[in-house]
Structure 1
Amino acid sequence: MSVTKQPIDFLIYLLLFGSAIFVNKYVLSVLKFTYPTIFQGWQTFVGGILLRVLLSNKCLSVSATELDKPGFISLLPSFLFFSAGIVASSKALANLSVPMFLCLQNSLGAVLYLVDVAPSFRMAGPIPLLACLTTIGTAVSAVLSDIDMTFSDSPYFWMMVNLACMAVQALHSKIADARYTDVDRLYFSYVFSVVVLAPVSLYLEEAFEVLHFPHAMRYDFYAGCLLSGILGLFLNLSSMKVRKQNLFSIVDATGRLFTSVLALATFNDVTSLTVKILIGINLLSGVFVPIPIAHSPEEPDEMMEPLTEGA
């Protein structure tokens, strides 16, 4: 990637990140569309079709690899945890403030970094280690200061499920079939999620309950649902492109910080001052936490450029 293109690529990533969070929060919390299997099934349906179009028209610098039986077996854990993770993420974001949601996501990056440098921490500098411990500590403290200790169907429970699924996906990507790029895994995860979430929505009766959704005829509802799928796809593609850059961890953490500040001015937030201070420390310390990189070794850097002949 050209150095001169990095600021533009980072800016695109930040805009996509903030937009995706705000659109999802609006649909889930403001419109109260609390049917995660339907919402995420729709997102993956839109994202899967759009990604298929991009691949078919060679708009990306990678081509799709056919999914054979060994590849399916190798990637199946990733498919399962991807589907479970996005549903849990919707249930968490619907009831958590955006700053708390991003604060807890920050803790996952810190944990993965510590796992990446273990068992010998000599490869890690004191500042990243301190930042990791601060990030994890403040996230735990923020939850304990705000949590309903019954924990019954709590958004924190679903956030834990989401973080666990994301962690397993990140670790599994290191041992998955190397023939498949990140784009391949994303596309097949989309297809798998659509196939799985459709019958699950029927089993949980969400497909019938959604017929009585009071805002079903509002234009902002349709626009939000459509945008959530489009923004989710392009955010994933943008992340694949820029996360290999040295400054990505700083840019990503800064984006979470600014998104949280904007969210405080946009959405209703009843979080106590103590929790807000802990979240602020968490988001600031996240700037100094390096992000472990896990990607396919053959995957090109120029993700969004067209395929060249012979590629």
Structure 2
Amino acid sequence: MTPTKQPIDFLIYLILFGSTIFVNKYVLSVLNFTYPTIYQGWQTLVGGILLRVLLSNKCLSISATDLDKPGFISLLPSFLFFAAGIVASSKALCNLSVPVFLCLQNTLGAMLYLMEIAPSFRSGSGPLPLLASLVTIGTAVAAVLADIDMTVDALKFSDSAYFWMLVYLACVAVQTLHSKIADARYTDIDRLYFSYVFSVVVLAPASLYLEEAFEVLHFPHAMRYDFYAGCLLSGVLGLFLNLSFMKVRRHKFFAIVDASGRLLTSLLALATFSDVTTVAVKVLVCINLFSAVFVPLPTLKDSDGIDETNEPLKEGV
């Protein structure tokens, strides 16, 4: 990435990130489209078709690698956790405010930093990133505890948005760790495309098994143009967000840009969507979003000895 293009690429990433969150939140919460297998199946179908078109017409700088049997076996865990993660993220965002959702999302990067960077005492890892990681995790946990009634909600936790957020974060974490040992022949774009295809194949019968395919026939906003526009945009924006992420993530300032994007998106969301969280939760979320700006992205060495960020694909929400 040349220095002259960095601000433009970062700006495009920030716009795509915020737009993706807003579109998904609008469809899931405002229109109350609570059918995650249908919604994410549609997203991955649109994204997969569009990505296939881009690859077929040489619009991207690389070509897709064919998926053989050893490659499928190697990438299968990533496919499974990708599909589970995007469904869980939809169920979480549907009932959580955008700031709380992004606050909890920040904990993943902080935990990976503590696991991979801080214990090794690498040069350049000073006390500020370590403190910021601890504050990010601590404020997120405190925000959850302050928002739920442990005496009432403990028994219902498996049905809550926080449970699905936990599932989502666990899926992304496992997907990230699995990327270290997955077949190195496949690029991020390969993995994204095959994850799309796998998700469509899995979520289509899942929607029938869970009867969401039949329940969606009674969705009251099925004939609204904003519903169709939102569903289409969710797939298109999700794909281009991933492509933008792949382009800018190796820049040394990306961690700051990414965390700043969550902060700005949260501030705009407060003015756009209704938020019934308490003042204490809002203060904790605010501290979390600010502290996350100082948390570096975890890195790992590739086969050529080049540092690369080990961030998961940002599909879904």
Identity of aligned residues (%): 80
* 1:146 partnered with 2:147: yes
> What is the CA distance between 1:29 and its match in structure 2?
0.1
2:224 and 2:88 map into 1 onto residues whose CA distance is 25
Residues 110-145 of structure 1 deviation map (CA, whole Å, 9 limit, x = unaligned)? 001111125433542111000000000000000000
Match for 1:157: what amino acid? F
Partner of 2:263: 257
Structure 2, unaligned stretches of length 5 or more?
309-317
Matching residue's letter, 1:239 = F
Q: Distance in 2 between matches of 1:265 and 1:242?
A: 28
Which residue number in structure 2 is paired with residue 307 of structure 1? none
Residues 201 and 207, structure 1, Cα contact 8 Å, conserved in 2 = yes
Please name the residue that 1:20 is paired with.
20
Distance 1:89 1:50 in 2: 22
Contact 1:44/1:191 (8 A) holds in 2:
yes
Give SS of 2:274's match: coil
Which residue type is aligned with residue 266 of structure 2? Answer: S
Q: Which runs of at least 4 in structure 1 moved beyond 3 Å after TM superposition?
A: 293-299
Contact 2:83/2:199 (CA < 8 Å) preserved in 1? yes
**Does the C-alpha gap of structure 1 residues 104 and 14 become closer, same or farther in structure 2, counting only changes over 3 Å?**
same
Report if the CA contact (8 A) 1:182-1:296 is conserved.
no
Deviation at 1:293, TM superposition (A): 4.0
Equivalent pair of 1:110/1:136 in contact (CA under 8 Å):
yes
* Gap regions ≥5 residues in structure 1: 302-311
Give 1:277's match in structure 2, choosing from 267, 280, 283.
283
1:147-187: CA deviation from partner (whole Å, max 9, x where unpaired) = 23331400000000000000011111111100000000000
What do residues 187-223 of structure 1 show as CA deviations (whole Å, max 9, x unaligned)?
0000000000000000000000000000000000000
Structure 1 counterpart of 2:231, one-letter code: C
User: Which residue of 188, 196, 203 maps to 1:197?
Assistant: 203
Give the structure-2-normalised TM-score. 0.92
Computed over aligned residues only, the root mean square deviation of the Cα atoms, in angstroms, reads 1.6
Which residue of 1 is the match for residue 8 of structure 2?
A: 8
Which has the larger displacement, 140-149 or 173-182? 140-149
Q: Is the 8 A contact 1:180 1:296 kept in 2?
A: no
Query: Does the alignment pair 1:44 with 2:41?
Result: no
For 1:10 and 1:59, the matched residues in 2 are separated by 20
Residues paired across the two proteins, number:
300
Residues 71-220 of structure 1 aligned to structure 2 (within 5 Å):
71-117=71-117, 119-121=119-121, 123=123, 124-147=125-148, 148-150=153-155, 151-220=157-226
- Residue 306 of structure 1 is matched in structure 2 by none
In structure 2, C-alpha distance between the alignment counterparts of 1:120 and 1:73, rounded to whole Å = 32
TM-score, normalised by the number of residues in structure 1: 0.94
Kindly state the Cα deviation for residue 227 of structure 1 after the two structures are TM-superposed. Answer: 0.1
